[in-house]
Amino acid sequence: SDLQKQEERGELLQPLIFILLVVCSVLLYFKVSLMDPGFVKSEEEAKAGKSEEQSMVIPQVPSNIKMRRCGYCLVKQPMRARHCQLCQHCVRRYDHHCPWIENCVGEKNHPLFIVYLSVQLVVLLWGGHAAWSGLYFEQSWVWLQHNILLLMSFLLIVIFTVVVLLLLISHLYLISCNTTTWEFMSHHRISYLRHSELENPFDQGVVLNLWRFFC
């Protein structure tokens, strides 16, 4: 049969890989959106100062900076944590609240968020290539009627690809500097950064920053 011949020629492999990537991106989306981003819990107050991140950064931060109690949920905030008004929780190593996933991006789900963006970018680039290869341009109303949906799909894919690409690049840059979106945007308002002698007291070099984040 034709299907069997296509399989023998390896023509079914690419669509299968594409479908698997789409399924993977959907599963990653639900995983990142539903998982705990690193909520600070009251029973963890006593352990907050003993975490690995605390032990790494405390020597580099002025000793007069004390952990403060959150005015909303009344838990003692570890360094780099912030209260999210939408989630109604303090989040460890808070990066931002993402409206696309309806969840915060923090200590626990930030690496998986980067993986999700990477897989999504591959899917969009592949889909954009497939849509472009199906277009053949003619200056006629009949051609536009038959290709309007494909053309609109391609334009939407291009827009989403640019957004995801810029978001991924910006996150990778901040990760390589060991800073978060919140710290980058609000540097002048954060006490442990404003009173620090170093511009970024958490930066340990690009390689070590990436290693500690992903591993």
Alpha carbon distance 86, 192 (integer Å): 24
Partners of 91 in beta bridges: 39, 82
> Distances in Å between the alpha carbon of 107 and those of 73, 86, 96, 213?
19, 17, 11, 9
DSSP string, 32-67: HHHS---B--GGGGGGGGGSHHHHHHGGGS-TT---
DSSP 188: G
Residue 15, CB half-sphere, CA atoms under 13 Å: how many?
6
Q: How many helices (H) and strands (E) does the chain have?
A: 8, 4
- Angle CA 59–64–67, to nearest 5: 85
Angle between helices 110-133 and 13-34 (to 10 degrees): 150
Partners of 96 in beta bridges: 105
Q: Of 84, 98, 104, 177, which residue is the catalytic one?
A: 98
Query: Does 70 qualify as catalytic in the annotation?
Result: no
Residues involved in catalysis: 98
